[in-house]
Amino acid sequence: MKTVTIVVSVYNEEEALPEFYRVTKEVLEQVDWEYELLFVNDGSRDGSLAVLQHLAENDDRVKLISFSRNFGHEAAMIAGLDYSSGDMVICMDADLQHPPQCIPEILQAAEAGYDVVNMVRTKNSSAGFLKRITSAGFYKVINALADVSFEENASDFFAVSRKAVEVLKHSYREKVRFLRGYVQNLGFKRINLEYEAGVRVAGKSKYSMKKLFTFAVNTILCFSNLPLKLGIYAGIFSGALGFLVMIYTIWTWTQVGTPDGYATIVVLLCFMFAMLFLIVGIIGEYIAILFSELKDRPIYIVDFTTNIVQKRDR
């Protein structure tokens, strides 16, 4: 019999967890796959850990990895992939926004030979207007800039086969990363399935607008080198502008004598410096990414695990 690992990242979800466990368990009991429920406690500050430990004590299909502190959703998913043992791994949120009812459909796709199952949101009832607009804008920008393409409305709800897990585990250990983007660009046999994002069962979203913005900028930087070329275009542009101004100045000099260009100088100076600083800033961002890559600090630190026998092979 084949096994499926459900990876669930948990950060302050004590209220949502019992309901999540109940619903997911119910669905998993009905499919004819072996299963393990792998929870990653991402340094929760509420009672989530106690709830998870309680679940793990009473059900040995519940596995638990507990981080030493909060490392973020992506790190939690990567840890889940690292420690998973299933032939298929499904990543989902603990707040039931990713309906467990989709699991049988995902497993059907897996049985049909698909290696990557990408869950695409058709409706996001809980996201506000601003979040929807910015999300759409983000995908427009990234698709225009990056050399790979991204599915709009894709989510952190996806399933990958063992083959794909091994690739993600070993070859995508970047420090600044976008797991969802990697999943979509792995290749293999891939299918998109639709789902309707539910409302959070309890608690509130952990992603602030500021976090999302940093996330968006990092994603653009790590999937595209185009911003670096901005310097070249800016150079050509200011060179051309300078040349035109020079011709104009010589012409006025021959006609009316030495020109008085105080305002022009100030405006141009501000404009040029703004462009220069912007480009230096962009280069700085890339250097920051290089630096964190070079330091090679761990993506996550595990405090302890429960019910996990196999050693992480990485």
> What's the min distance (Å) between Cβ of 97 and ligand UDP?
5
Site for ligand UDP, rule CB under 6 A: 9-11, 13, 42, 70, 72-73, 76, 93-95, 97, 205-207
Helices 262-295, 209-223: inter-axial angle, 10-degree rounding:
80
Q: Which is nearer to ligand UDP, 198 or 259 (CB)?
A: 198
| First-residue to last-residue Cα distance in the chain | 26
Is residue 116 within 8 Å of 192, Cβ to Cβ? no
Can you tell me the distance from the alpha carbon of 84 to that of 310, in angstroms, rounded to the nearest whole number? 9
Write the DSSP symbol of residue 84.
-
Instruction: From 6, 292, 41, 5, select the one nearest 177 (Cα to Cα).
Output: 292
Specify the residue, 53 or 205, whose C-beta has the smaller distance to ligand UDP: 205
Indicate the residue among 95 and 115 with the shorter CB distance to ligand UDP: 95
Closest CB 281 distance from ligand UDP, rounded Å: 27
Nearest to 94, CA basis, from 5, 178, 207, 200: 200
**What Å distances lie between residue 233 and 22, 133, 229, 279, CA to CA?**
57, 29, 7, 11
Least separation in angstroms between residue 197's CB and Mg ion is: 8
| Shortest CB 282 distance to ligand UDP, Å | 27
Q: Which two tokens stand for residue 150?
A: 């991204």
Nearer Cβ to Mg ion (99/259): 99
List interacting residues with Mg ion (CB under 5 A). 93, 95, 97
| Among ligand UDP, Mg ion, none, partner that 73 touches (CB below 5 to 8 angstroms by kind) | ligand UDP
The listed partner (ligand UDP, Mg ion, none) that binds 10, CB under 5 to 8 Å by sort, is: ligand UDP
